[in-house]
Amino acid sequence: MSDKFSEDLLKLAVDRALGKPTKNQGELFEELYTAYMNDSNSSSLREQITAAVAGCTTIPGKLGRDCIDIDEVKKEVKPKNWNGKRPTDGGGCFNDYTRKRWKKDCDVNLPIIASLFAKGMLIYVVEFTFDCIADRLDEQIVRISEEQGNRYVRSCSWTYKHWVDYPMLRVHYINKKLLKEHDHYGKSVVTGPFYEKLMTL
C-alpha cells in the first residue's frame, strides 16, 4: 500500500464511504475523494477504508501484506470499484501468481478482506480465508503455468461463488439499502445471483 493517509483524513473518507454526515466536507474534499476513489491506477484509499472498516491497520509499502489486525494477523485487502458499466461478480485476483506464492498463502491460510465500492459508497466488506479459493487458484496454476509452461498466471481469479457460502465468512459491513436502490433503477452493481446471496448475509 503506497499512500498512507492521516488518521483524520482517513476517518473523514471512511465516514463519506459509509454515507455518514462529515464535518469539514467541502467541494475540494469531494473532488479529491472522488478522484482517489475512481483512480484505476491506485486502490490505496479504497484499501485503507476497507481495512479500517474491518478493524485493521494498514501496512505501508506496495510489497507484502496490506494490513494487520489487533491480534497481529497480517491480511490481504482486495477492494473492487464498480465501473458503472456491468455488474460485478464479487470476484478478485492475484496478479503474476506463482506456485511458490500459492504455497506461501496456503501455509498461513491467508485471510482476505474483500470489498466493493460504487460511486464513492462502500457496498460491503467481507472476510474469508485462503482455503475458500485455494482449489480455484490451483486449477489455474496447473493449467496456465505448469501445463502450458508459463512462469506465472497473469491474473489468478475467483468469484463470489468461492466464498459467499463459507461457514466462517465474516461480514464486517454491508449496505443492503444502497444495493436495493441500484437494483430498483436497473443499474445493478452486482450480478443477479450474487445480489440474492448478499441479501441473505
Q: Are strands 57-58 and 74-81 parallel, antiparallel or unpaired?
A: unpaired
What are the distances in angstroms from CA 175 to CA 7, 115, 122, 146, 189? 24, 11, 7, 41, 12
pTM score: 0.88
CA angle 147, 148, 153 (to 5 degrees): 100
Residue with cell 498466471: 153
CATH domain 7-199 topology: PvuII Endonuclease; Chain A (3.40.210)
How many other CB atoms sit within 10 Å of the CB of residue 32?
Answer: 13
What are the distances in angstroms from CA 83 to CA 1, 13, 19, 160, 188? 22, 19, 19, 18, 11
Least confident of 61-65, 102-106, 110-114, 159-163: 61-65
H-assigned helices in the chain? 7-17, 27-37, 44-53, 99-107, 134-140, 176-184, 192-199
Mean pLDDT computed over 114-134: 95
- At a CB cut-off of 8 Å and minimum separation 6, what does 81 contact? 37, 38, 40, 43, 46, 116, 117, 118
Mean pLDDT computed over 81-96: 91
| 44-62 pLDDT, tens digit each | 889 999 999 999 999 987 6
